[in-house]
C-alpha cells in the first residue's frame, strides 16, 4: 500500500506542472493572436483612412467638374464623350474579408462610401456616353447625388478609421 501512495505522490508534481504549462501555452497563444489582430487592424485602418481621405479630395474635384459640365449642358451643347478609368486595386478591395476586424460602425460605413464612389463612376460614365443633352444632364445629376451621399459619410468614417489606427492594444478589448 505504501508503494501505491508513493507512486501517486510522485506523479502529482509533474501533473500539476504539465497542467500549468498547458494553461500558460493557451493563454500565450490567445494573447499573441489578439495582439496580432489588433496590430493588423491598426495598419488596415490607417491605410483605409488614407484611401478615404484621397476619395474625399477627389469627390470635391468631381463635384466641381459636375457643376461645370452642367453649365455647358445648360447652354444646350452636348459634352464630348469621355472615359472614366477604373482605379487601380484599392486597399478596401484587397482587404475586403478583413474589414470586420475594424468594428461594426466602420464595417457598415466603409462599403457604403466605396459603393457611392463606384456609383458615381458608373453614373458619370453613362452620362458622358449618352446621346442627348437630357440624358447627359440626368446622368450627371445622379452622379452629384452619389457625391453628396459619399461626402455625408466621409467625415465620420475618416474620424473612426483614424481613431482605430491610433487605438492602443489592451488584451481582449478588440
Residue 171 belongs to some domain of the structure: no
pLDDT tens sequence across 126-160:
999 998 999 999 999 999 999 999 999 999 999 99
Residue 77 belongs to some domain of the structure: yes
User: Over the chain, what is the mean pLDDT?
Assistant: 86
Residue 174 belongs to some domain of the structure: no
Range of the domain at 147: 2-166
Give kind and range of the element (H or E) at residue 116: helix 104-128
pLDDT tens sequence across 68-84:
999 999 988 888 888 88
* Cell 457611392 belongs to residue: 116
pLDDT tens sequence across 160-169:
999 999 987 7
Residue 9 belongs to some domain of the structure: yes
Q: How many domains does the structure of the chain reveal?
A: 1
Query: Any idea what the Cα angle at residue 139 is, between residues 55 and 126, rounded to 5°?
Result: 85
Give the three cell numbers for residue 34: 489578439
Give the three cell numbers for residue 25: 501555452
pLDDT tens sequence across 14-63:
888 888 888 787 777 777 777 788 888 899 999 999 999 999 999 999 99
Specify the pLDDT at position 168: 77
Residue 173 belongs to some domain of the structure: no
Specify the pLDDT at position 162: 95
**Percentage of the chain with pLDDT > 70?**
93
Helices within 1-88 (DSSP H only): 2-74
CA dihedral 154, 160, 161, 166 (to 10 degrees): 150
**Percentage of the chain with pLDDT > 90?**
51
Residue 48 belongs to some domain of the structure: yes
Residue 172 belongs to some domain of the structure: no
Cα-Cα end-to-end distance for the chain: 55
Residue 110 belongs to some domain of the structure: yes
Specify the pLDDT at position 4: 52
pTM of the shown model: 0.77
pLDDT band, very low/low/confident/very high, at 174 (cuts 50, 70, 90): low
Specify the pLDDT at position 65: 93
Amino acid at each position: 500500500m505504501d508503494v501505491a501512495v508513493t507512486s501517486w505522490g510522485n506523479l502529482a508534481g509533474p501533473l500539476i506542472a504539465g497542467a500549468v504549462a498547458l494553461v500558460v501555452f493557451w493563454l500565450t497563444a490567445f494573447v499573441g493572436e489578439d495582439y496580432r489582430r489588433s496590430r493588423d487592424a491598426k495598419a488596415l485602418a490607417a491605410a483605409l483612412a488614407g484611401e478615404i481621405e484621397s476619395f474625399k479630395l477627389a469627390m470635391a474635384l468631381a463635384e466641381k467638374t459636375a457643376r461645370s459640365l452642367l453649365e455647358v449642358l445648360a447652354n444646350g451643347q452636348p459634352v464630348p464623350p469621355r472615359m472614366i478609368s477604373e482605379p487601380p486595386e484599392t486597399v478596401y478591395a484587397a482587404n475586403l474579408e478583413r474589414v470586420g476586424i475594424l468594428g461594426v460602425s466602420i464595417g457598415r460605413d466603409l462599403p457604403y462610401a466605396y459603393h457611392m464612389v463606384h456609383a458615381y463612376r458608373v453614373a458619370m460614365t453613362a452620362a458622358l456616353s449618352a446621346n442627348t443633352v437630357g440624358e447627359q444632364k440626368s446622368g450627371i445629376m445622379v452622379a452629384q447625388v452619389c457625391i453628396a451621399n459619399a461626402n455625408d459619410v466621409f467625415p465620420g468614417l475618416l474620424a473612426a478609421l483614424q481613431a482605430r489606427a491610433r487605438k492602443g492594444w489592451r488584451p481582449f478589448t478588440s
